[in-house]
Amino acid sequence: MELTKCYEVPFDVNVVYHAWVSSNTVIPPATAMDIEPVVGGHYRLLMDTPEFSGKNEGKFSLVEPGERVVYTWEWNGDGEVTEIDVRFEPTAAGTTITIHHSGFTSQASVTNHDGGWDGYMMGLGDFLSAKTSR
């Protein structure tokens, strides 16, 4: 099972790409990120809040700076290893981000990730707005 999401953001493609692959881009409910955006490099998202503690880990299989990244995604070692393929395309108004997330083992997981991407993209927009207004 898979899902594809497409978002338009009013920021330069290089700003969006670099934020996506930066350990400094921490979007709540994440509390820390550790990203090494090279083929074979790791992707780690940590969440440590009073309500929830967990982590996501994955590895990059493709890195095309400013254009595309592909990496795996697994929550808390649950055995469901999915793949995320993110493409960044410049537009006159900013950037189109297309996310293809595949390898889900249940419809519930698809539904959870579908909503999760919407929340993440809202947080990324807020993060980039704050960063570019400084």
Give me the residue label for tokens 């108004």.
93
Name beta bridge partners: 45. 33, 56
Predicted confidence (pLDDT) per residue in 45-83, tens digit: 999 999 889 999 999 999 999 999 999 999 999 999 999
Our count of domains for the chain comes to: 1
Give the pLDDT confidence score for residue 45 in this predicted structure: 96
- Comparing CA positions, the residue from 20, 128, 114, 33 lying closest to residue 67 is 20
CA distance 70 to 117: 16
Sheet containing 42-48, strands listed edge to edge, beginning at the edge strand earlier in sequence: 2-9, 94-102, 82-91, 68-75, 53-64, 42-48, 32-35
Q: Which long-range contacts (CB under 8 A, 24 or more apart) does 57-65 make?
A: 58/84, 60/36, 63/21, 63/37, 63/38, 63/39, 65/17
Give the pLDDT confidence score for residue 134 in this predicted structure: 66
User: Structural domain of residue 49, as residue ranges?
Assistant: 2-132
Give the pLDDT confidence score for residue 99 in this predicted structure: 98
The pTM assigned to this predicted structure is 0.96
- Comparing CA positions, the residue from 101, 93, 104 lying closest to residue 120 is 101
CATH number at residue 89: 3.30.530.20
Predicted confidence (pLDDT) per residue in 94-132, tens digit: 999 999 999 999 999 999 999 999 999 999 999 999 988
Position 19 confidence tier, pLDDT thresholds 50, 70, 90: very high
- Comparing CA positions, the residue from 78, 60, 77 lying closest to residue 69 is 60
